[in-house]
Structure 1
Amino acid sequence: MTQHRQEEWVPPGIDTTKPSSSRTYDYLLGGAHNFQADREAAEQAEKVMPGIRDVARLNRAFLGRVVRTLMSLGIRQFLDIGSGIPTVGNVHQIAGEIDPRCRVVYVDRDPIAVAHSKMLLRTSEHATIAHGDFTNPNGVFADPEVRRLDFGEPIGLLMVAMLHWIPDAAEPHALLDEYRRRLPAGSYLAISHMVSDQEGNRMNSLVGTFNQARGQDQATTRTYGEVETMFGDFQLIEPGLVGCALWRPGGPGDVSDDPYTNTQLYGGVARKVTG
C-alpha cells in the first residue's frame, strides 16, 4: 500500500508499530487494512494454532447468520460494538440485502477502524459509525450516531469476538448489565467469545503469544459458564451457547472438518423478554 493511500485511512498520531485486535482480525480474514505489526502478530498466532484463519472465517460466518436470523425475527436496527475494520460481509451489507432501510450503527475504539469506516459509509443513508469504548456505556449511548437508533423499538446488539478483549479488571459482566438494561423489550444480544474449556493449554499459549506482542489489546479467555452468564436474564434462543460453527449452520462452508476449530469460539443469541 502506498504512503498516499495509507494516509487516506490512518489518522495522524496513530502508532502502527503495535498490533491491534481489529487490524489483526482484518488480516486473518484476508483484508488489506493492517500493518506489519498486525501481520506479525497474526503469523505468530498461526504458529501456535494453525487453524486460526479458519476460526476467524467461521466467526465471520456466524455474524452473518446471526444478522439474517434476527432480521427474520423482525429486527430492523443493529448496534455493533467492537465492529473493527470493515471487510466483506459487514452487518449493513447483509442486512441491506434483506431490507435496505435497516439501520446499523457500528462502534469501535480503534481510531483507524473508525476512520476507515467513515470513508466506507460516507454515502450510506442507513449505516454509520461512532468512536466509542465498550467500557464507557454512558459515552456509547450518548453518542449522536447511536442516538439515531430508535430505542422505542427492538435492537440487535452485537458483541462478536469482542468481549475477550475486555479484561476482568474492567468488570465486563457489570458493564453488560448496563447494556442489557438499556435495551428495549424484544431486543436481542449476540455474543461470541474465546473459551478456555477447549484445549485450555493450547488456547492460553495462543493468547499469551498475542499479548506478548504488547499491543493495546490484551486477550482474556473465559470458561463456558462465564460466557453464558454474560447474557444475564435474557433468554437464549436455539441452539443456545455453542461453538460458533455449530450455531444454525447453513451449509458445509459454515463448519470446519476440525471439531476443535468449530468450538474455539462459542456463540449465542438471547432475547430480552421484559423491559
Structure 2
Amino acid sequence: MNSALPEGYFKRPNVARVQDHLDGGTDNYAPDRDFARDLVAAAPWLPGSVRINRAHGPRVLNCLTREYSIDQVIDLGCGLSHDNNRDVPDEVRRMVYVDSDPGVDAHARMVLAERHGTVSLRADLEDMTVLLAAGPIARIDRGRPIGVLLHDVLPWLGDDTAHTVLAVLRSWLPAGSVLSVTHATTDMAPEAMAALTRLYEAAGIGFLPRSGPQIRDLLRSWTPLAAGGPVATASWRRSTPLHPRFDHSHAYAILASPGDRIS
C-alpha cells in the first residue's frame, strides 16, 4: 500500500490523533486539539472513556495469554499508542498491529522496532481478503488459536462493512481463537452520543455508536465467552461492577469465539 500521507493530512482532525490527545498523548496537532475541545464540550466524560478503552487492551492481552493460552494476536485498528511494547505480555510471541492510517503505521514501526515478534501492517478493514493475505498475517500459525482485538473500531464502520469484517474473521479464525471487542454505545448517554456523531459528521468522519442490542446483533454468529453478553468496558472482569455514576466508559466490552449462533 502507498505509504505517502494524503494531502492535507495534518490540516484536518484525524481520529487516531484526536484519541491520542484525549488520552494525554503528544502525537497530535492543532486541528486535532481544536476538534477535541468541541467533542469534550459535548461529552465531558470523553477523555475518561478513551482512557478506559486504552487500559482495557493490556487487561485483555493478559486474559488471552493466561486463560486461553494464546500467544499470537492481531490488533485491528490499533491506533496510536504511547508504548505498545510495555503493554504486550512476554507470553505473546507474535503481535501484529494493523491500521489503515499511514501516520499510525509509521509511528508503530518506530515504537515497535525493538520488540522481537512485533510487527506493523498498514491495511484497510474494508478489504479483509487483502488484509488477511498480507505477509505479517499470512505468517501467523493458523494451526493454533489466534487472538484478535477490535477495540474501538466497529463504531467507525458502517453496518455492512462491520458485518463483513466479522463474518470474514469468523470464517478465517481457527478453533480456540478469541475475539475481543469494545464498542461505543448510545445506551448510557444518548444525547451526548448524538452530539458527538454530528460533530464527527461535520468533520467528514463517520461515527456510529450502537445500542447494546445492535452490538449483540453484530456478534450474533459468535459465541460469547461470558454469560450476559456485552458489559460496560469499565466493569469488565471486575468483582464489583462500577456504579453507573462513576462509569465513564460509555462503551461495551465482550469476548467471543467463532462458535455457534447466539440464540
Give the TM-score normalised by the residue count of structure 1. Answer: 0.85
> Partner amino acid for 2:81?
P
Give the TM-score normalised by the residue count of structure 2. Answer: 0.89
**Would the aligned equivalents of 2:186 and 2:211 in 1 still touch at CA under 8 Å?**
yes
In the TM superposition, what whole-angstrom CA distance separates every residue of 1:157-183 from its partner, at most 9, and x where no partner exists?
A: 110001100123x43113311111100
The answer for the alignment partner of 1:42 in structure 2 is 36
Structure 1: which 4+ aligned runs deviate by more than 4 Å?
A: 9-14, 254-257
From 214, 217, 233, give the equivalent of 1:244.
233
**C-alpha distance in 2 between matches for 1:28 and 1:126:** 29
Deviation (angstroms), 1:256? 7.8
1:78-93 equivalence runs, <5 A: 78-88=73-83, 90=84, 92-93=85-86
**C-alpha distance in 1 between matches for 2:113 and 2:189:** 43
1:65 has 2:59 as partner: yes
**Would the aligned equivalents of 1:10 and 1:116 in 2 still touch at CA under 8 Å?**
no
The answer for the alignment partner of 1:149 in structure 2 is 140
**Would the aligned equivalents of 1:41 and 1:210 in 2 still touch at CA under 8 Å?**
no
**C-alpha distance in 2 between matches for 1:61 and 1:268:** 15
| Equivalent position SS for 2:78 | coil
**C-alpha distance in 1 between matches for 2:168 and 2:103:** 27
1:186 has 2:172 as partner: no
Gaps of 5+ in 2: none
Deviation (angstroms), 1:255? 5.4
In the TM superposition, what whole-angstrom CA distance separates every residue of 1:131-169 from its partner, at most 9, and x where no partner exists?
A: 11111101110111112211111111110001100123x
**C-alpha distance in 2 between matches for 1:129 and 1:109:** 11
| Equivalent position SS for 2:75 | strand
Go from structure 1 to structure 2 and tell me whether the alpha carbon gap of 1:235 and 1:149 turns closer, same or farther (over 3 Å shift): same
**C-alpha distance in 1 between matches for 2:47 and 2:55:** 12
Q: How many equivalent pairs are there?
A: 256
| Equivalent position SS for 1:270 | strand
1:218 has 2:206 as partner: yes
1:94 has 2:83 as partner: no
Q: Percent identity?
A: 27
1:201 has 2:195 as partner: no
**C-alpha distance in 1 between matches for 2:5 and 2:243:** 37
The answer for the alignment partner of 1:172 in structure 2 is 162
Q: Comparing both chains, which one has the higher relative contact order based on Cα–Cα distances under 8 Å and sequence gaps of 6 or more?
A: 1
RMSD (Å) for aligned C-alpha atoms: 2.4
> Partner amino acid for 2:24?
G
Q: Which moved more, 1:227-236 or 1:124-133?
A: 227-236
**Would the aligned equivalents of 2:234 and 2:247 in 1 still touch at CA under 8 Å?**
no
Deviation (angstroms), 1:49? 0.8
